[in-house]
Amino acid sequence: MGTDVLFRQDDEWFKRVWHENWELLSDAPSTWLTITLGDSIGLAESRDLIADLRPKSVMLNEMDTGYPDFEKVAALLSSRFSDTRLVEGYRA
């Protein structure tokens, strides 16, 4: 489930629906949390999402314009959340 709506949408209804969907789908074996690093989502936001939502799997992407610290963020998240499967997704 993509996290962009949580940071790029001011509408609280969207955020509530997203969290309700996560509650319903998070235990399914095929559900991944996708995080796209960019202007509004960096290390702190990614760390907080993973800590709060406790996903089994995370796909880490970057915006089309790239994210200069992608490898650093991926390494830090991987070491901090060793029980979470972290894979590299789209890279610009």
Domains of the chain: 4-88 (3.40.50)
The mean of the pLDDT values for the chain is 90
Residue that wins the pLDDT comparison between 4 and 64: 64
Least confident of 11-25, 45-59, 78-92: 11-25
Between 11 and 23, the higher pLDDT residue: 23
Q: Residues 26, 53: contact at Cβ < 8 Å?
A: yes
* pLDDT (average), residues 72-83: 96
Q: Are 79 and 52 in contact (CB under 8 A)?
A: no
Q: What is the mean pLDDT of residues 50-79?
A: 94
Residue type, 61: N
